Amino acid sequence: MSIPKTYSHLKFFDGLLINVLIFAGIIYCITIYHFAFNQPVGDDYDAILLFLNQYVVAQPFQQLQLFFLQHNEHRIFLTRLAMVIDLKLFGHINFTHLIWLGNLGWGMAIFSFWHFAKKYQISVTEFTPAAIALLSFSHFEMMTWAMTSIQQYWQVCFGILAVGFMVNNRLKSALFFYTAAIFTSGGGIILVPILNTYYLLQKKWHEFWITVFLTLTILSIYFLLLPYRPPPASRISEALMQPQLVLGYFVGFIGGMGNHIDTGIITILACGGILFTLFILKFKYMYKAAPFLWWVAIYVCLTAILAALNRSFLGIASSGDSRYSEYSLLFSSCIYLSYLLGASSAIARKKIVWLGFTISVILFTYWYEQSKRPLIDRLHWLMNDIQTHPNWAEAQRIKARSIELGIMQR
């Protein structure tokens, strides 16, 4: 019995996309395996080694306090919990373990995004272009950075879960991941207006008042009960005095996945402008037909606004930094899936999948090539003990103390 031509073509189509996704995932994992190195880099000295130096000599109550101390503008409870567990299990801290744990967070973020997106009758094959794009190496800076990978990837994962459970009427789960995101990274604060506004707009008063009560409790603990060092008050006021800079930073943040070093800010602004325009064109449709995608896109936009208010003084070009680009990838994935859902016919839907697949493969290939040099450079610096911290003398003192305490192997 012969296989119908249409069915055969469909099987080839599905197989091609799935196999490319598997291949992209394997490349991602091999890259982590090759470039992850058991040495601190950047904030690892302060957020991991300095914390552990204090933790191992502190009393139990002081140890609990240390878990919630600020790191820059963040509270990184999950990162600190992970490093303490690693220390207890292995007798010394291993940065390679932490890097893998951080990247597991990104894998879980992608899976969580798929888990909620499939509720809109999106098949695995149709989701594949989004998954390939999310696996691209635009965020290479975090891929082999222990502290930042745990902090950022897991915060995004918890944000996706909080939004997903929110729109699917799972209040307890939504509030759990809402709280987890806030105490994983400062960016989790963005969920405060999202959850409270959602329940208000939906007129779900029982859920709204519970969320308000929890929000007030969390914010009281975060800003009042626990020691808190606010950023300079002048930073936001100065940003508001330069709206063109804030707007440029916002657009560049949205377009970070399109960053091209040689052309400066042009590519991130062009990419961000295109993505945001496509979002506006589907704004009402997404809100009604795919609220999960709409609220995730809003989550990215609010994050971009907060980042612009706090960091636009660094210049628009900094909005395209690698460590922020996972938000751009997530935003583009929401747009792709919304246009897929809004397709007028099965043929149009397939064309959108092919277009998304083509763009995602190009994106993955481009960033694979672009990330090689910085990843190789960082590995070289770490293997040869070259400076990776702005205050190198202090970083070396912290590291020496960790070796002395048996926290880190020489």
pLDDT tier, 232 (very low <50, low <70, confident <90, very high otherwise): confident
Give me the mean pLDDT over the 257-277 stretch. 91
Q: How far apart are CA 257 and CA 393, in angstroms?
A: 35
Residue 215: is its pLDDT beyond 50? yes
Three-class secondary structure of residue 75 per DSSP? strand
Beta bridge pairs of residue 74? 71
Q: How far apart are CA 144 and CA 100, in angstroms?
A: 8
Residue 7: is its pLDDT beyond 80? no
Two structure tokens written together for 330: 């997530």
CB 158 within 8 Å of CB 182: no
pLDDT tier, 236 (very low <50, low <70, confident <90, very high otherwise): confident
Give me the mean pLDDT over the 376-389 stretch. 96
Q: What is the dihedral of CA 52, 57, 58, 60, to 10 degrees?
A: 90
Q: How far apart are CA 48 and CA 207, in angstroms?
A: 37
| Complete DSSP assignment for 254-317 | HTGGG--GGGTTHHHHHHHHHHHHHHHHTHHHHHHH-HHHHHHHHHHHHHHHHHHHHHGGG-GG
CB 173 within 8 Å of CB 112: no
Q: How far apart are CA 160 and CA 162, in angstroms?
A: 6
CB 340 within 8 Å of CB 287: no
59 exposure class (CB count in 10 Å sphere: 0-12, 13-18, 19+) = exposed
Choose among 192, 109, 115: nearest CA to 149: 109
Three-class secondary structure of residue 74 per DSSP? strand
CB 246 within 8 Å of CB 207: no
Beta bridge pairs of residue 295? none
CA angle 151, 155, 159 (to 5 degrees): 175
Q: How far apart are CA 127 and CA 366, in angstroms?
A: 20
CB 195 within 8 Å of CB 174: yes
Of residues 262 and 315, more confidently modeled: 315
**CB neighbourhood size of 66 (10 A):** 15
pTM: 0.95
Q: Given this model, what pLDDT does residue 233 score? A: 74
Percent of the chain clearing pLDDT 70 (strictly above): 98
Beta strands in 46-101 (DSSP E): 70-71, 74-75
**CB neighbourhood size of 243 (10 A):** 11
Q: Given this model, what pLDDT does residue 261 score? A: 74
96 exposure class (CB count in 10 Å sphere: 0-12, 13-18, 19+) = middle
> Of the ranges 152-161, 214-223, 239-248, which one carries the lowest mean pLDDT score?
239-248
Give me the mean pLDDT over the 184-206 stretch. 97
Residue 151: is its pLDDT beyond 60? yes
CB 49 within 8 Å of CB 402: yes
| DSSP code for 203 | T
CB 138 within 8 Å of CB 259: yes
pLDDT tier, 1 (very low <50, low <70, confident <90, very high otherwise): very low
Q: How far apart are CA 164 and CA 116, in angstroms?
A: 6
Choose among 169, 171, 179, 191: nearest CA to 119: 169
pLDDT in tens, 80-117: 999 999 999 999 999 999 999 999 999 999 999 999 99
Q: How far apart are CA 91 and CA 99, in angstroms?
A: 18
> Of the ranges 69-73, 123-127, 166-170, 234-238, which one carries the lowest mean pLDDT score?
234-238
Q: Given this model, what pLDDT does residue 62 score? A: 95
Q: Given this model, what pLDDT does residue 68 score? A: 94
Q: Given this model, what pLDDT does residue 69 score? A: 92
